[in-house]
Structure 1
Amino acid sequence: MDELPLVLGSGAAVLLASVLAVRFSIRLGLPSLLIYLGIGVLIGEAGLGVEFDNPELTQSLGLAALVMILIEGGLTTTWSEVRPNLGPGLALSTVAVGVTVVVTGSALHWLFGLEWETALLWGGVLASTDAAAVFSVLRSAGIGKRLSSILELESGLNDAPTYIVVVLLATGTTMDWTLPLQVVYQLVAGGLLGFGIGLAGAWALRRAALPATGLYPLATVAMCVLAYAGAQFALASGLLATYVAGVVLGNSRLPHRSNTLSFAEGVGWIAQIGLFVLLGLFAAPSRMLDAVVPGVVAGLLALLVARPLAVLISTAPFRVPWREQAFLSWAGLRGAVPIVLATIPLAEGRPGAQELVDAVFVIVIVFTLLQAALLGPLAKLFGVAGASEPREMQVDAAPLEELGAVLLQVRILRTSRLHGVYLAELRLPKGATVSLVVRGEQSFTPEHTTRLQEDDQLLVVTTQQARRATERRLRAVDRAGPIARWKGERGD
């Protein structure tokens, strides 16, 4: 009991220091994940002397944090943006993984004389791009929407196949004709379970009138965790189920959606901070010097040989231009996921597993710095940089169960065609009405002659039956103005 204040205070201090480090890292142009890793190292045996050497616990906590990161990534993924690039994203998250494992493993077997199983294990650990690194770096790097969505899809989906590969190699699973069928089952079943639980969760949340707004984000995150647990119990891919459930829920008409996304973003940050601080505690700087050469060599093979070849083979059927292929090859960021994967063979007691863990720490530190630093300049060099595109209007909904109605909250963005539209021109369906307009610090009940302005917030009350048509009409006018129907825009 006497240690509880110390533990809570220390945890709060580390969390606050990590949050403040985000702004510091942005000014320096460094990925924040390296700052968190450094905080963990400073707390660990090489700094304040806190000893932590438990690969099993590190693996379990790492997977738990990865689940939270994938939930945030799935919920904040806009399906309308990633759908046109689903093919390249799926190919990079599956075919590219296999190519990277084989090419990297073969090269390490030839260079260092590693046994085939060990060499392929190195390739499997290095095959996954990191969701936390991609979600935090690419969304603020000024990359065009097409490439950004491809990389987000890849990082969200490829954790599942790489985890399966590493587990199979680390546990010494017998390689026979049934192995490909097992892998296919895990991926297909995981995706279907995640999709089904996501749909069921969205249906339930739309019809539930919970007593507090804050319960909706909790319930949404719990649905995604349930998808992970359900898939694992079914011997399917829990990581894939988690991400798919997040995408389905994040693109559904959820009550209090903006609050849910903000909550998920906060949970994702806490998971990233906790994960990298934990991995920094687990690191042993005294051993990393011996791992510099093998780590740098393996990282260069993965970055300059395996990754470009994997991208070329994966994206060739989709006619991706060579400039975009070159950028995709460089932008395969690695972070916490390879370190977490490397703890699996260490927990299994495989020979050479400690050397693999030390080398992966070197790879993550060196190549995250290198790749992130050149990401912006290379985007301009290859002509794939893109200005941030305007967001679409978001409609936040709150069910009013006793009235059989729904309250919609709408903010008019500065790029919206709703600006300048008279209220009468909205022509909302029967059963819907704009009950309040909030403009600056003032709020008023609008009339038919009220003209909407950018940054206005609207409160729209609609019946349950008219809700969908109301949202579609609002989106249609947001995109194309009051004559949206004449332009063929229906707000889907």
Structure 2
Amino acid sequence: MEEQAIVIALVGVLGIGAQWIAWRTGWPAIVLMLAAGFLAGPVFGIFDPEHAFGDLLEPMVAIGVALILFEGGLSLDLRELRHAGAGVVRLATLGVLLGWAFGSFAGFWIAGLNWPVAVLFGGILVVTGPTVVIPLLRQSSIQTRPASILKWEAIVNDPTGALCAVIAYEYFRKLNEFPDATIFEVVPPLIIAAVVAGLIGYAAAKVIAWAFPRGVIPEYLKVPVLLTTVIAVFVASNQIEHEAGLLAVTVMGIALANMNVSSLRSIHPFKQNIAVILVSGIFILLASSLKVEDMAYFNWRFGLFLAALLFVVRPATILISLAFSSVPWNERLFLAWIAPRGIVLVAISGLFALRLAELGYADGNVLIGLSFAVVVVTIVAHGFTIDLVAKWLKVKGVSRPGLLIVGSTPWTIALAEQLHKLKTPVLVVDPSWQRLSATRQKGLPFYHGEILNEATEHNLDLGPFQVLVAATENEAYNALVCNEFAYEIGRDAVYQLGEAVGQDDHRKLPDSLRGRALFESGFGVEDVNQRQADGWIFRQTKLSDEFKFADAQEKLPESTHMLLLLRESGTMRFFTHASRPEPRAGDIIISFSPPQKITAEQAAAKNAEKRGPKAQPA
């Protein structure tokens, strides 16, 4: 009991610690988690998950994978298929068959595996996995269409690859019992089982979609009921056929995501948190359970197999599947390179390795070490090169942090204009076409629509914007926008103007509902509007080793208020009522200040300049 508690604590520390280091350094989180697990397990022997959990390890990992796939399904909106539909359908059908065939031939001819083992492993290799693809996409800014194709392929092909492995295993198992058995005796029952599992997942989604909005389930029980339902669907479907549960929970997630259940919005933060914990924990558990003897099977043929997987199997699968499609060539080449494998590959390989050994196939034991090798090689190769390849093929999205401004007012337009000149991506959002007229006249990027409308997140790519400023005339609405986007962008990256001066305390909104208040003085909407009308303007001042922040403050007019500083990397740091960023050389300070007062002597000097030099007396 004590050993299990210690292992659970260590897995949490290593997994979340690796995620934090990845956030700080920009390295692929999956690589760090694999390294942490490998060091804690086979290298230093700090803990052994199989010894600690015994027979419970496999169902723990299986349920964790099911929850991850369900969470991934919840992120798939069918409206995304308008841009990526043709590519997704091809990769989920023709791409699966081609990847299975090419992977099987590579396993047999290059790796030297027995034909049954090669065919089964080729089916598993179809998966790419949301546990690795989605973190990579989150860390790298990729254009919308290739990112959507990769995300859909990862989530849809995970259960498909598992079913391919089941088909191969059942066929060879039946062949052992009945040498005259054909593939047609195996496939139809499995397809029927998959259809039934999918229907179970869809029915569960319908029940949830009916019960949640009608108050059948109280708010505090919605998350527990949802998680319990997912696990029940997974277990029940697996009773019909092995690994059919993965298909069922994926269908359930996709169906639920497209039933417009407003109650699900409140559980999004929780499901994202549980997904991060599960991904971290499962990767640490699987990497630390790897045995040194599993690597003893490796030889030069396995090295060639890994190279073939990277440079032949995946590119051939993508290029043939997307031939004559509307997907541009640069995006096809990008998709042909990015195919990291993850948890599902290792989990399913470990399961079938034991079953193949029971059938008498000695090469079955090789699958555990080989699957880890595939995961490590693909994650390292693709994780460290995704940005470079994306730039080279021109599929990189906006990498400089952008600012999303909600509300088109004279003050926000002036701010947007200032940042636009500094090459910072900026977007002004407002539901009023009339209020947007001044934004359009300035040539600034804009979006006409309600930012809180659910359709907006599908019609508008919010990926490039890491900071939000809500500055409409309505303070309560600004707080609502900040509170809504705090979970997606981050509580420290949503800002609004301060409370109106003199407002009664009982009418003020709680700080927990508001965004960070802009300006150290906490200017309200009326304050900035009045100053804007009085001629106040935004000014930019660049700092250097010789010209420091104190020098800038002396040069600027009195009553100037600092708004933000812009780092050379494009990162924005705002001056707020609660905190002040530390200015340094290379930063650009954006300030809001009154018009410069001109003395009588300065005015006379300017007039003299306009008249030109005086004539010299003879």
TM superposition score normalised by structure 2: 0.60
Q: 1:100 to 1:71 in 2, by over 3 A?
A: same
**Worse overlay, 216-225 or 62-71:** 216-225
Distance in 1 (CA, whole Å) between partners of 2:262 and 2:112 is 57
What is aligned with 1:206? 213
The one of the two structures with greater contact order (alpha-carbon pairs below 8 A, sep at least 6) is 1
What is aligned with 1:325? 332
Match of 1:310 among 295, 314, 317: 317
C-alpha contact (below 8 Å) 1:198/1:246 kept by paired residues = yes
What is aligned with 1:215? 221
**Worse overlay, 326-335 or 281-290:** 281-290
Distance in 1 (CA, whole Å) between partners of 2:137 and 2:388 is 13
Distance in 2 (CA, whole Å) between partners of 1:115 and 1:10 is 37
Q: How many residues align?
A: 416
Match of 1:270 among 262, 266, 277: 277
What is the percent sequence identity of the aligned residues? 23
What is aligned with 1:47? 44
Shift of 1:375: 0.8
Q: 1:313 to 1:291 in 2, by over 3 A?
A: same
C-alpha contact (below 8 Å) 2:211/2:217 kept by paired residues = no
Shift of 1:250: 2.9
Shift of 1:27: 4.0
Shift of 1:435: 12
What is aligned with 2:387? 376
The reply on whether 1:23 has 2:49 as its aligned counterpart is no
Distance in 2 (CA, whole Å) between partners of 1:340 and 1:353 is 14
Q: 1:52 to 1:257 in 2, by over 3 A?
A: closer
C-alpha contact (below 8 Å) 2:112/2:301 kept by paired residues = no
Shift of 1:263: 0.8
**Worse overlay, 284-293 or 274-283:** 284-293
Q: 1:296 to 1:206 in 2, by over 3 A?
A: farther
Distance in 1 (CA, whole Å) between partners of 2:225 and 2:292 is 41
Question: Structure 1 counterpart of 2:38, which letter?
Answer: V
Match of 2:371 among 326, 335, 360: 360
SS in 2 for 1:416: strand
C-alpha contact (below 8 Å) 1:345/1:353 kept by paired residues = yes
Shift of 1:152: 0.9
Residues 385-429 of structure 1 deviation map (CA, whole Å, 9 limit, x = unaligned): 223899999xxxxxxxxxxxxxxxxxxx9743148999xx99xxx
SS in 1 for 2:367: helix
**Worse overlay, 83-92 or 274-283:** 83-92
What is aligned with 1:37? 34
Distance in 1 (CA, whole Å) between partners of 2:258 and 2:290 is 38
C-alpha contact (below 8 Å) 1:342/1:357 kept by paired residues = yes
C-alpha contact (below 8 Å) 2:98/2:317 kept by paired residues = yes
Q: 1:109 to 1:9 in 2, by over 3 A?
A: closer
Distance in 2 (CA, whole Å) between partners of 1:267 and 1:443 is 39
Distance in 2 (CA, whole Å) between partners of 1:61 and 1:443 is 53
1:17-416 to structure 2, matched below 5 A, reads 17-53=14-50, 57-171=56-170, 172-174=172-174, 175-208=182-215, 210-211=217-218, 213-235=219-241, 237-285=244-292, 287-288=294-295, 290-291=297-298, 293-316=300-323, 318-348=325-355, 349=357, 350-387=361-398, 415-416=428-429
Distance in 2 (CA, whole Å) between partners of 1:229 and 1:392 is 46
C-alpha contact (below 8 Å) 2:198/2:248 kept by paired residues = yes
Gaps of 5+ in 1: 394-412, 427-433, 445-455, 459-492
Distance in 2 (CA, whole Å) between partners of 1:248 and 1:23 is 33
Shift of 1:290: 4.6
1:398-437 to structure 2, matched below 5 A, reads 415-418=428-431, 437=477
Distance in 1 (CA, whole Å) between partners of 2:98 and 2:145 is 23
Gaps of 5+ in 2: 175-181, 407-425, 436-448, 451-473, 480-495, 502-512, 516-618
C-alpha contact (below 8 Å) 1:128/1:162 kept by paired residues = yes
Q: 1:343 to 1:251 in 2, by over 3 A?
A: same
Q: 1:140 to 1:52 in 2, by over 3 A?
A: closer
**Worse overlay, 241-250 or 315-324:** 315-324
**Worse overlay, 106-115 or 59-68:** 106-115
Distance in 2 (CA, whole Å) between partners of 1:67 and 1:124 is 19
Question: Structure 1 counterpart of 2:88, which letter?
Answer: G
Shift of 1:295: 3.7
Shift of 1:262: 1.0
Distance in 2 (CA, whole Å) between partners of 1:357 and 1:70 is 22
Q: 1:245 to 1:310 in 2, by over 3 A?
A: same
Shift of 1:343: 0.7
Shift of 1:281: 2.2
Shift of 1:45: 4.3
Residues 32-71 of structure 1 deviation map (CA, whole Å, 9 limit, x = unaligned): 2232223323332431353455896554333212111112
Residues 70-129 of structure 1 deviation map (CA, whole Å, 9 limit, x = unaligned): 122112233322454234223313322221221122233223443321221232232211
SS in 1 for 2:139: coil
Residues 118-151 of structure 1 deviation map (CA, whole Å, 9 limit, x = unaligned): 2212322322111200111113311111111111
Distance in 2 (CA, whole Å) between partners of 1:56 and 1:321 is 48
SS in 1 for 2:183: coil
Q: 1:382 to 1:437 in 2, by over 3 A?
A: closer
C-alpha contact (below 8 Å) 1:58/1:343 kept by paired residues = no
Q: 1:214 to 1:40 in 2, by over 3 A?
A: farther
Distance in 2 (CA, whole Å) between partners of 1:315 and 1:336 is 26
**Worse overlay, 87-96 or 179-188:** 179-188
Distance in 2 (CA, whole Å) between partners of 1:9 and 1:58 is 15
Residues 258-293 of structure 1 deviation map (CA, whole Å, 9 limit, x = unaligned): 331111111111211221111122112354265263
What is aligned with 1:453? none
C-alpha contact (below 8 Å) 1:71/1:264 kept by paired residues = no
Distance in 1 (CA, whole Å) between partners of 2:138 and 2:297 is 35
Question: Structure 2 counterpart of 1:77, which letter?
Answer: L
Q: Which has the larger radius of gyration?
A: 2
Distance in 2 (CA, whole Å) between partners of 1:121 and 1:177 is 17
C-alpha contact (below 8 Å) 2:202/2:251 kept by paired residues = yes
SS in 2 for 1:30: coil
1:469-488 to structure 2, matched below 5 A, reads none
